[in-house]
Amino acid sequence: MISSRMAECLEDIQSVRVIAKKDLNFERLGIRIFKDVETEVPRWLAEILEEEGACEVIRGGPEIISERLYKEKVSILFAELPQETFQIIRDVVRGSPEDSLIRRDAIELVNRRLGKIMDYLKASILLTSKKPPKNLLVEELILYNALKSIIEEWMRSFVGVRVDR
């Protein structure tokens, strides 16, 4: 259903921000990048361009995790987060000691978002809501759709209730 391979592919195609060191034109990809202008390109392309010295990838540091956690705590709905949030979370989890505050904040941010997804799913089954909540990141939307499908199948099979999509 959801695999680490899927996560890796998604990571490669997600956009990252770059600043080019020279004008670049990739006609076949429909991408034109201008020198010293911040532009979004797929991660796979950014990594190649960075290796060749043609651009600099703009990376958000782990310090923004605590800020995003605060936004999530004070918001009843899903806080709007930048698309690179899960990449930063993965980097923090991989590179921080288990007892570090930043790692704890990253995991708490994920747990809060998961809790909101579960709450929304419970409500959407009862209300037969057809739309996912606003401000879900792509990684969360994949999880939301998978969980919704499992819950609907369980409701149909074990409870005998058909949930319209």
Fold of 64-157: Methane Monooxygenase Hydroxylase; Chain G, domain 1 (1.20.58)
Provide CATH 3.40.5.50 ranges for the chain.
4-58
Which CATH architecture is the domain 4-58 placed in? 3-Layer(aba) Sandwich (3.40)
Dihedral sign of CA atoms 84, 149, 5, 31 in order: negative
- Distance (Å, whole) CA 124 – CA 133: 10
Provide CATH 1.20.58.1020 ranges for the chain.
64-157
Write the DSSP symbol of residue 63. T
pLDDT tens digits in sequence order for the chain, 165 residues long: 678 888 788 888 888 889 999 999 888 878 889 999 999 898 899 999 999 999 999 887 788 899 999 999 999 999 999 888 888 898 899 999 999 999 999 999 999 999 999 999 888 776 666 789 999 999 999 999 999 889 888 888 988 877 665
- Distance (Å, whole) CA 79 – CA 86: 14
